[in-house]
Chain A
Amino acid sequence: MLRALKSFGAFWYDFVIGDDWHVAAIVVAALGLTALLTHAAHVSAWWLVPLAAFAALAWSLYRATSSRS
């Protein structure tokens, strides 16, 4: 039972998060910060999520290519 639960959890982790959890963490943090800036500070932070996405991708690629060389 425990094994089945673990493999079920691992399947969904792999399905949603994928190879690098940092990417998911940065996207979620960026969306949270965007909501905060928009609602609390009334800043039109439309640029934040795309910038965070580019940064997350660059960081993830840097890590992936560093560990191989």
Chain B
Amino acid sequence: MTALPLILTVFVACAVEAIEALTIVLAAGLTRQWRSTFQGMAAALVVLAAVVGVLGPTITLLPLGALRLVVGALLAIFGLQWLRKAILRASGHKALHDEASAYLREVAAAKAAPEVAKGRVSDWYAFTLSFKGVLLEGLEVVFIVITFGDNQRDLGAAVIGAAIAVVVVTVTGIAVRAPLAKVPENALKFAVGIMLTSFGSFWGAEGAGVAWPGGDAALLVIVPVVAVVSLSYVFWIRRYRPPDRLAQPARTPVAESGGVTG
């Protein structure tokens, strides 16, 4: 695999996580105070750097076969969970992840919480909200970067993809000062789920001792096949297992979003 598909895959996956983190940070910063929000962000980034510092070198010590088996299993599990959620959302069984409504929920909770100072942090709520949001989404970014980078023995390309995603989302967030609600998040998650499942299955099976027909070129078949099967599941559920009418809004989320294509 050349560096470009690796960079693109990591970019899309990390952009989704960065958008979710941005929503939480904006809610904390705009409704509470920026100082404590930035302190929370900084603390989370320090923890993430420590995780990378420990996990990065440790994981590279593993033999490639064992690494691919473990990482492949984790990526496939991750990818299938992403696909499961994306398919349920696209078929109307689960509400679409809407950054605007997620932002409004966070804002309402932030406005209701009392302002408590702890140590050098003047607003503990803003600090913990920002810390948790950045840490949780950041852990997923770290996991994706390390696993994809190490497996392809090209950590630099994976870091570039992640860094571009974080910078693009941050700059856009600063420019619009609002959650990135117009991003077709379910479509992106669908795409990331397909990539994680495909790479996870490929590397996991390789780690288990399989020699794929065509070597790395097998991915050119696996990715479209996973995409087609996943899309067929959306149509299968829409056709044969429609959501409960009582739980269905007047306009379905699927109709509003244009399904998995955004």
Contacts and interface: CB of A to CB of B under 8 A. Distances in A.
Interface in A26-41: 27-28, 31-32, 34-35, 38-39
Contact of B209 (A16, A28, A35, A61): A35
A53 B201 CA distance: 8
A18 B93 contact: no
Given A15-B139, A68-B93, A27 B210 contact: no
Given A53-B201, A57-B230, A20 B81 contact: yes
Contacts of A20: 81, 84
Contacts of B146: none
Contact of B204 (A39, A49, A66): A49
Contacts of B77: 16-18, 23-24, 27
Given A57-B233, A61-B87, A34 B210 contact: yes
B88 A50 contact: no
A56 B129 CA distance: 35
Contacts of B233: 57-58, 61
Interface residues of B, number: 42
Given A48-B205, A61-B233, A53 B76 contact: yes
Given A49-B205, A50-B222, A64-B88, A57 B212 contact: no
B80 A31 contact: no
B205 A60 contact: no
Interface of B: 69, 72-74, 76-78, 80-81, 83-85, 87-88, 91, 93, 139-140, 197, 200-201, 204-205, 207-213, 218, 222, 225-226, 229-230, 233, 237, 241, 243-244, 247
Interface of A: 15-20, 23-24, 27-28, 31-32, 34-35, 38-39, 44-46, 48-50, 53-54, 56-58, 60-62, 64-66, 68-69
